[in-house]
Amino acid sequence: MTPHRARQNPRGQAPRFVDLLPRPPERSAACDPFELHVVEATPLHASTAFANHAVGLYTSGRHRIRREMGGRPVEGWSDRGAVNLTPAGVHATWEAEGTSRAIVFLVPDAYFSRLIEEDWDVDPRGVEIVPRFLTRDPIIEAVLVRLAMEVENRAPNGSLYCASACAFLARHLVQAHSSMSKAPPRSSGGLTPRRLKIVVDYIDANLGSPLTLQVLATLAGVSARHFERAFRKSVGSPPHAFLLRKRVCAARDLLVNRPTLTVAEIAHQVGFASSSHLATMFRRQVGCAPAAFRRLNG
């Protein structure tokens, strides 16, 4: 095999992650400011510094890999579930005996800086993301696999779910893989009753429309990073889970009170991507399929 080497950015800046690949990613998605790539073939050779913090999860293709960072070489195998974490701006060299499939998650350094400053109340310039090589982290694995499924199925749970999952994963990286890993985040309260009512009323009025974390955060008058945490503290669940419950509740009412509507029409009306997605969420929360619920309560 011919090693694939990084193509240099014409302006001398760090190359984009996708420029390092022998062929384009199988699937990609942007959830501002994050990026997610499902990679069918990882590069055999790369020597660069990433512009963003990069988290890679191997999903198949076991090969020996050698990495050198800061003059320190390490070697291991790309077993399924192994995780690499490369901080932004840190030059490293990788060499692999074969290509693997992987899921790659990219986080801008500016996002980490704002997150650390707001949640931990410390100067982010003194905080470092710790490099990891072929480590294990079940939280990273579970979230990245779920996000990859969302990308593959065109985000059936909506952009709010993806944004919340990405924000949660970024916060986990600071908590578990940085020099702040042993420091508890600054405690903060929930939303004020007035702000919470504004957000909930907006959700109720727009169940059938796509809802984003940024729009809800703007209504609450806080940043998207603070909103997810404050909303969870106020209602006991993250925004996307709250929204799913609201949509299932609305579907229950329509199943009973609008017998002429089909399950597919109800799914569309309350904001589910399809009748099958509604059925899955409905069974999970109610314990039976929508059609069975309608028969029992008709």
Residue 203 and residue 154 in one domain: no
| DSSP tag of 26 | S
Report how far residue 146's alpha carbon sits from residue 215's, in angstroms, rounded to the nearest whole number: 23
- 1, part of any domain: no
The per-residue pLDDT for range 108-125, each reduced to its tens digit, is 999 999 989 888 888 999
Residue 169 and residue 198 in one domain: no
Mean per-residue pLDDT over the chain, rounded: 88
Residue 34 and residue 81 in one domain: yes
Residue 46 and residue 145 in one domain: yes
Report how far residue 230's alpha carbon sits from residue 235's, in angstroms, rounded to the nearest whole number: 9
pLDDT of 13 higher than 70 = no
Q: What pLDDT is attached to residue 82?
A: 95
Residue 79 and residue 204 in one domain: no
- 155, part of any domain: yes
Residue 211 and residue 113 in one domain: no
Q: What pLDDT is attached to residue 239?
A: 92
pLDDT of 54 higher than 50 = yes
Mean of pLDDT values over 241-250: 93
- 183, part of any domain: no
CB 243 within 8 A of CB 211: yes
Q: How many domains does the chain have?
A: 3
The per-residue pLDDT for range 138-186, each reduced to its tens digit, is 999 999 999 999 888 877 777 888 888 999 999 999 999 999 886 666 6
Domain that holds residue 255: 242-297
- 218, part of any domain: yes
Residue 39 and residue 161 in one domain: yes
Residue 254 and residue 224 in one domain: no
The per-residue pLDDT for range 219-230, each reduced to its tens digit, is 999 888 789 888
Residue 166 and residue 200 in one domain: no
Residue 75 and residue 21 in one domain: yes
CB 90 within 8 A of CB 152: no
Here the CATH number for the domain that contains residue 259 is 1.10.10.60
Out of 22-31, 50-59, 147-156, 186-195, least confident range: 186-195
- 228, part of any domain: yes
Query: Where residue 52 falls among pLDDT bands split at 50, 70, 90?
Result: very high
Here the CATH number for the domain that contains residue 56 is 2.60.120.10
Name the strand (E) or helix (H) holding 296: helix 290-297
Residue 292 and residue 266 in one domain: yes
pLDDT of 208 higher than 70 = yes
Q: What pLDDT is attached to residue 187?
A: 55
Residue 115 and residue 262 in one domain: no
The per-residue pLDDT for range 185-198, each reduced to its tens digit, is 665 678 888 999 99
Of 129, 145, 176, the last residue of a domain is: 176
Query: Strands of 34-39's sheet, edge to edge?
Result: 27-31, 34-39, 101-107, 53-60, 83-86, 132-135
Angle among Cα 86, 92, 95 to the nearest 5 degrees reads: 105
